[in-house]
Amino acid sequence: MALTLAHLSDVHLGPLPPGAAWENFALKRLVGALNWKLRRHKQHDPVISSALVADIKAAGPDHVAFTGDLMNVSAYAEFPRAARWLQNFGDPAWISYVPGNHDAYVPVPWEYGLAHLAPYMTGDMAAAGSQSSFPYVRLRRNLAIIGLNSGVPQSLRKAGGSLGPKQLEALPGLLNDLKAKGYYRAVMIHHPPLPGLAPPRKALSDAARLRDILASEGAELVLHGHNHRQMLNVLSGRSGNIPVIGVPSTSMNGTGHAEPAAWNLYEISRNQGTWVTEVTIRAWDSISRRLVPKNQFTLPS
């Protein structure tokens, strides 16, 4: 029986809460808030993100992968609002989330920040009440979801990310163990995980190391966001091809050169011992103002 997985990213939930630029002042937060007011709010429409969530709910996937950037400038008031948004979307057991760079825009103490979202990024074996640790692993039937956190505070002009040695050291063993147990391994990360997929100031600093781990240990699917566009790259691994897929922003209205909002549905099955992944892309249509089918294809394996 096939298992279905939905993938969305980069909600950039608006509008900014009152006083977001000034409360717990940080220069980068102020600059980000001004950027939102002058430009970004014209591109990100909460009506679209609400319609996309409703579309996912109507499709009824077995699980949802959310690859970060629920917020904008990591204002303290954004975190409880983001938690309410997620709660309205669905149960933490149904949605797996990893932070993006806008969710870690500036340093925020755990208890005032990402703790609000912890139920959505806690692995099956994590101790109750602990800070979420990465990589986390969730097992859903024959699907293993591996969540990586690339969202770390950056300098003023940077929007990049980093995994760091702890996650990179843990990942090979997890991938190897899950393969031995017969799981379909879906890796979640906000930033594009391969070198050259994002400009230097927006890139993952340890992408080359992550690429080497994936190529060596394998994965059936790698999901990311960050670039606000539909992306499909294939990494040649020791045990076969590894599809690496990015999706547009969940709230983007498609003005200018930006791609309109979209989400992907992956239908995962097994055929004669080989994993098969069918992809359906549903995108926002500005004329009918609803989500419509855009493309359907089978991933290379």
State the CATH architecture for 3-16+23-298.
Answer: 4-Layer Sandwich (3.60)
Q: What per-residue confidence (pLDDT) applies to 259?
A: 94
Q: What is the pLDDT of residues 9-28, one digit of tens each?
A: 999 999 999 988 888 889 99
Q: What per-residue confidence (pLDDT) applies to 88?
A: 98
Band of pLDDT at residue 273, cut at 50, 70 and 90: confident
Q: What per-residue confidence (pLDDT) applies to 80?
A: 97
Q: What is the pLDDT of residues 57-70, one digit of tens each?
A: 999 999 999 999 99
Q: Name the pTM for this structure.
A: 0.96
Residues 215-238, mean pLDDT to the nearest whole number: 97
Cis preceding-peptide flag for 15 (omega within 30 of 0)? yes
Q: What per-residue confidence (pLDDT) applies to 167?
A: 97
Angle of helix 207-217 relative to helix 164-180, nearest 10 degrees? 10
Cβ(283)–Cβ(260) below 8 Å: yes
Which stretch of 35-39, 62-66, 226-230 has the lowest confidence by average pLDDT? 35-39
pLDDT at residue 131 tops 60 = no
**Residue boundaries of the structural domains of the chain:** 3-16+23-298
Averaged pLDDT of the chain: 95
Residues of the chain with pLDDT > 70: what percent? Answer: 97
User: What are the Cα distances from residue 289, in Å, to 51, 93, 251?
Assistant: 9, 30, 12
